Amino acid sequence: MSQPLLSINNLTVQYQVATPVTAVNDVSLYIDPGEIYGLAGESGCGKSTLAYAVTRLLQPPAAITGGSIEWTASDDSRIDILRLDGETLRTFRWEEIAMVFQGAMNALNPVHTIGSQIADVFKDHGTRMTRAERTARAAELLRTVGIDDKRLKSYPHELSGGMRQRVMIAMALALRPRLIVMDEPTTALDVVVQRNILEEINRLRGEFGFAVLFITHDLGLLLEISDRIGIMLTGRLVEQGTPHALQNSPQHDYTQHLLNSFPSLRGDLPLTGTRYVAGGSR
């Protein structure tokens, strides 16, 4: 049996302010090559902090205070991600792990064209390509995610929200990483555009074979697209399992509350007026 692509073991992340706040508390999970691992939980539960820890993008006062994050290289050697630094980390971050951030409008530079921003990925990461080759590759990536390459000269504000998110996916794919971390990639998109984005992600995964860490508060979405799902609550991973297992036999009461929160199409909303808190609901 092959080793997991990514192994997170007993990871703890604190925001070291006057009264330290533990945002990720002793979390362990793994992601296999090519699978979609969904991470669900309410806002503030630590999902995005975990994503930033995996990609080594945490900024002070956030700090990893315990645990390990390990990566299986193409030659099956093991890499300690927490020991990477400098140019080694910078190269690893794009060539092995890439990230699609929440809020594409804020992630894209408003004063540069889409084409120049995609081409910069190749320029900044030392690929030996001429300017014309970088432009041609950027056009190819846009077409890959379903955008007309005429949009290379467009600025972010000239694109719809769904198109901007596709641009972010194109940039993440640029160096063919083996894992893409997607932090709420469909937030604020209408349901039709969201569906198109999800279909595009699945199509691209089938074509390129990358794994996905898909982070969202929407458990219903994860039940549809994920191979396995983790449920986070107040910084802890309280349950993991396949979509079938979680939907049919949830082991934690918070998972049950999330499942019961889906709107009913035939009657009153379940759990109306009820809010879950650790240890119960109120």
- Domain residue ranges in the chain: 6-96+177-281, 104-176
- The region of weakest confidence among 49-53, 55-59, 117-121, 191-195 is 191-195
Cα torsion at 198, 204, 206, 212 (round to 10°)? -70
Q: How many residues does the chain have?
A: 282
* 132 SS3 class: helix
What pLDDT is stored for residue 266 in this prediction? 59
**What angle, 0 to 180 degrees and rounded to 10, lies between the N-to-C axes of helices 161-173 and 191-208?**
10
Enter the tokens of residue 210: 């990358």
263/246 Cα distance (integer angstroms): 18
Evaluate if pTM is beyond 0.85. Answer: yes
What pLDDT is stored for residue 269 in this prediction? 47
What pLDDT is stored for residue 251 in this prediction? 93
Q: Evaluate if residue 267 carries a pLDDT over 80.
A: no
Percent of the chain residues topping a pLDDT of 70: 91
Q: Which CATH architecture has domain 6-96+177-281?
A: 3-Layer(aba) Sandwich (3.40)
Give the strand order in the sheet containing 21-31.
Answer: 21-31, 6-15, 62-72, 78-80
β-pairing, 21-31 vs 228-233, is: unpaired
**What is the rounded average pLDDT of the residues 214-228?**
92
